[in-house]
Structures are given as structure tokens and as C-alpha cells.
Amino acid sequence: MDTVTHVLFGAVCAAAVTGTKSLPVKDLRLRMAVTGIAAAFPDIDYLSFWIDPLVFLADWHRTATHSVLIMPFWAVMLGSLWMLSRSARQHWLSVYTLCGLGILSHILLDLLTVFGIRIFYPLSYRLYSFGTTFVIDAIVTTILVVTLAFFLRHTRFKYALSGLLLVSIYLGTQWVFKVQAHAIAAEQLAESYDLHVLPQPFSPFYWQLIRQSGNDYEVAYLSLLSDEEAVVTSYRGVSALDWQYKSLLGNRDDLMPLVQEAWMQPQFLKFREFARLPIFYRLDEGEGETCVWFTDLRYTLPYLTPAFRYGMCREPGKAWGLYRLKRFTHNERQPLSVSVSFSN
């Protein structure tokens, strides 16, 4: 999830486990600050994006800093930094414990998103994900903001516990909605043995439905509340679902050999490892150069340019080169280093 939500969740968790009757306000705020900062810490791995964006996605993101096995080390490291403060040194055991709580709260929230985390890294590289919550969820954030406001005003831990209970109920409801969306997709599709149901922004009632058959996909955007179009018109009710065909190789037979060639280039290994639902994005031809671009259905929204777009480009008679299209742009691209992209 986003950093703000992680910080809020960590602070509320600290408030929920802290007895406040005889605790000075200064110490209470210190505990919440320690846990909130620790809750934001695991996403420090974003710094590796500037080393190599593709290897960051495939190998580095949500690994070491999100592992429950390495969490005690990070807690000790962060706690040791807090020891520079005399106030923190007076409660050193609590500081280390709260650092661990903050990191754990971050891991728990990230497990809900579709990206997945390698929770048992380095013993296992398997990605774990419940896939029930979009990476930015305004409802979760709002509940945490209101909870924290009440707690800071009244300093009663029952407000923090109530807020965590509300968040838990809401997240549990999202799981129920996901099961409902899965059942709707399974009923509409003749073969649903490889069916993916992914959360969408704005509402827990919006879901992306994907049926995978090898390298081909059928995709629809569902609103559980609507009969026809939803408020966000890309999402439809059960009776009006618009199933669209997507494919790794595209839908033009004459271009498929070229797309397949680009996809199988050795330099493209890291994107193949990262993408769980890869599709052909587009073909660019001009000025003596051909570029074949791919993206991942997990990170596509019907009304926005996909965040992750990687591809191979070449000029006639030259070798393929690895590139990414920068976020929030249509054509601005960045060349990537092949040597770094093969590192682990």
C-alpha cells in the first residue's frame, strides 16, 4: 500500500498495544512515531529503482525489506538509530519491539495487494498475495485518519482498537466481494479453471476479471452494484459485462513472429520473470526503428496508461535493445542496462 497508509496503520497499531492511563503524552507520541516510521521503512527498497527499474520489479522489490525472517535485523537496526535520542534510550526494549511491530504491520498490508511479497526471503522466492485490496485504498486510509484523530484527542486505546476492528471488517468484506466476483466470472465463462479476480481503485465493488488460456486472455471490468454502467463507466454490471480479448502475441497474425522474437530476447528475461499476466501493448515503427512493447494485466486500468511498459527496440541490421516507457508519458523512453538486468 501507499506510504501514508502504512505510517497511519503503524501508529494506530502502536496506540492499540500501549496502555495510556499513566503514560505521559510525550512518551505516547514517541511510541507512535517509532512504529509509524518503522512501518514506512520496508519501502526503502524503492531506492533500487534508480539503479535498474526492471531488476527492481523482478528481483529487489518486496524481498529483503519485506521478509519476516529478516525483520528482526531491521528492527534492531532502526531501534539502534533511535538510541541517539535520550527519551528513546529510556525505553530501549519498547523501541525495538515497536520497530518490529511497525515492519510487521507493513508486511501484513502489502500481503493484501496483487504485487505479492517474498515473505520468507531468502529461503524462498515464492510470492504471497491475497489480492483483495488495491495498492491505494481511500477507505482504509480514511478509517485510520479518523481513528488517529480520536485517539490523539482522547488518548484512550479503545479508539485505536475500534479503528483496527473497523479496518479488519472492511478488509474481510473485500474478500467476500472477491469471492462474489469470482463466482460471477465463473458463471459467465465456459472454462474458468484459470480465472483471476483483481481489485480496482475507487470502490471495493469494482473488480477486474481475467480468464487466462495459455497466452490469451478474456478481460472484463465488473461493478457489483450496477445493472449496466457504473459511476466509473468502464465498469459494468453482470448483465452488461464487456469481455475483451488480449494476448501476449497480439491479434495480428502477420506481426506475431516479430512479437514472439522480441518477447524471447535474452535481454528481456527479467520482464518475463516479473510479469504474471503479460500482454502485447503496442508496436511502434518509424524513423527506421521498430519497438515492441509489453505490459502486465495486473497493473492495467481501463482509463489510465499502464504503469509498467517494457519492450525491445531495434534498427535494421542491428541487435535488439532493452527499453522502458516512463510512467505518465506516452512515448518517452529510457534505455536499460543489459548487464545490470541479468544481476540478482
Contact 295, 309 (CB under 8 A): yes
Decide if pLDDT at 86 tops 90: no
Rounded distance between C-alpha atoms, residue 129 and residue 199, angstroms: 12
Of 163-177, 286-300, 328-342, least confident by mean pLDDT is: 328-342
126, amino acid identity? R
**Average of per-residue pLDDT across 156-175:** 94
Decide if pLDDT at 281 tops 70: yes
| Alpha carbons within 13 A on the beta-carbon side of 214 | 2
Contact 217, 189 (CB under 8 A): no
Nearest Cα to Cα of residue 35 among 84, 119, 104: 104
100-124 per-position pLDDT tens digit: 999 999 999 999 999 999 999 999 9
Rounded distance between C-alpha atoms, residue 105 and residue 160, angstroms: 14
Q: What residue segments make up the domains of the chain, in order of their start? A: 3-155, 191-247, 256-341
Phi, psi of 291, deg, nearest 5? -125, 130
Rounded distance between C-alpha atoms, residue 243 and residue 188, angstroms: 10
**Average of per-residue pLDDT across 241-257:** 94
Report the percentage of the chain scoring pLDDT > 70.
95
Q: Which residues of 59-98 are buried (b: 16+ CB within 10 A; e: fewer)?
A: bbbbbebbbeebbeebbeebbeebeeeeebeebeebbbbb
Rounded distance between C-alpha atoms, residue 311 and residue 336, angstroms: 10
Give me the DSSP letters along 32-66: HHHHHHHHHGGGGGGGGGGT-HHHIIIIITTSGGG
Decide if pLDDT at 342 tops 60: no
18-34 per-position pLDDT tens digit: 865 555 667 788 899 99
Decide if pLDDT at 216 tops 50: yes
Please report the sign of the dihedral spanned by the C-alpha atoms of residue 149, residue 26, residue 155, residue 72.
positive
C-alpha distance from residue 224 to each of 87, 179, 199, 297 (Å): 51, 11, 12, 20
304, amino acid identity? L
Q: In terms of pTM, does the model score above 0.75?
A: yes
Mean pLDDT of the residues in the chain: 92
